[in-house]
Amino acid sequence: MSRLSTAQRVQVVSALVEGNSVRSTCRMTGIAKGTVLSLLADMGKVCAEYHDEHVRNAAAKRIQCDEIWSFCYGKEKNVTEEQKKAGAGSLWTWTALDADSKLIVSYLCGGRDASWARSFMEDVASRLTTRVQITTDGHKAYIEAVEGAFGMDVDYALLIKLYGSPAAPETRYSPGVCIGTESCVVMGNPDPQHISTSYVERQNLTMRMSMRRFTRLTNAFSKKLENHEHMLAIYFLYYNFCRVHQTIRVTPAMEAGISNHVWTIEEMVKLLDGRSILEGLKMAM
C-alpha cells in the first residue's frame, strides 16, 4: 500500500465510497486485490480515529437513531457458533444523525441487543453538548439505553411504524406496506412536530447505495468483520466531510461547524501521511 501514489489511493477510495465492490475497484484501477484491501484497512483506521477525535461537542437539537441490517461471511442460519464468535452472521450498524445538519454524530457496528444499544447511546451522549430531542423506532433496547446514557436530561420519543402483510409471495424480500405510525413520549417534553426518523432512514438508503457490502441479494457482502468496519469508517468520514448534501448544499460537517470547507478525497487519503509521521515518531522514541 505504501507504494501507491496519492492519485492511486484517491482512485481506490473514490470507487469504494461510490458503491463499487473490492473486485470491481481492482478491475477499474488495475490495482491488486491485496493492495486494495491493505489500503482499506489503513484508511479505515485513520478515518475511525479522526471521527472519534473530531466529531465531538456537537450542538445538536434533534437526534434521530436507527439501525440497519447486513451480514458478514454468511447469514445467521448458515454459520456455526464458532464462526459467529469471529464476527460471522448478522451485523447491525447503529447510527445517530443530527436532523438539522445531517451529521452522523455516532455509529456502531455489532449486535442488536441491549448491551450494544447501551454502548451506542453512551457514545452518542458523550458527543453532545446540549439537551436534545431523540427519536428512535420501537426497538425496546433503546429505552433503557437512552435513560442510562442521558438520565432525565433528554426529550425522548418513539416512532412506531405499523406494517401490513406483504401483498404477494414475490415481495418476501421487502417489508410489508406501512399502514400507519404511532408516537409515544418516553421522557421529557419532545416537540410532536419533530418526532420523526425520516432523515436517518433516508441515510440508511444512502448507505446501501454507497457501500456494495450492504447491497441485498449479491455476493458482495463482507467476508471479514474487520474489513466491514473499515469500510464503515471510510464511508462515514466521506459522508460527513466530503459529500455535499443536496438539501443543505454543504457537507454535514460544515453545517455542524466542525469543518470550514468541503473536503476532497485527496485530503482524506492524506490522513495516512499524518498517521505515518506519528508512527515514525513513536518508533524513534
pLDDT in tens, 259-276: 999 999 999 999 998 765
How far apart CA 197 and CA 192 sit, in angstroms, is 12
Average pLDDT estimate for 191-196: 96
pTM: 0.91
Q: Go through the chain and tell me how many residues it has.
A: 285
pLDDT tens, position by position, 75-123: 999 999 999 989 999 999 999 999 999 999 999 999 999 999 999 999 9
In CATH terms, is domain 6-284 a member of 3.40.50.2000?
A: no
**pLDDT score recorded for residue 69:** 95
Q: Which residue has the higher pLDDT, 195 or 168?
A: 195
The answer to whether 210 and 18 have CB atoms below 8 angstroms apart is yes
Mean residue pLDDT across the chain: 91
Helix spans in the chain (H): 6-17, 22-29, 33-54, 81-85, 114-126, 141-150, 198-210, 225-241, 252-255, 265-269, 271-284
Angstrom CA distances, 33 to 18, 189, 220, 247, stand at 18, 52, 14, 36
Sign for the pseudo-dihedral over CA of 125, 127, 133, 135: negative
> Which set of grid coordinates corresponds to residue 242?
466530503
Name the pairing type of β-strands 133-136 and 155-163.
Answer: parallel
CA-angle at 133, arms to 95 and 252, nearest 5°: 50
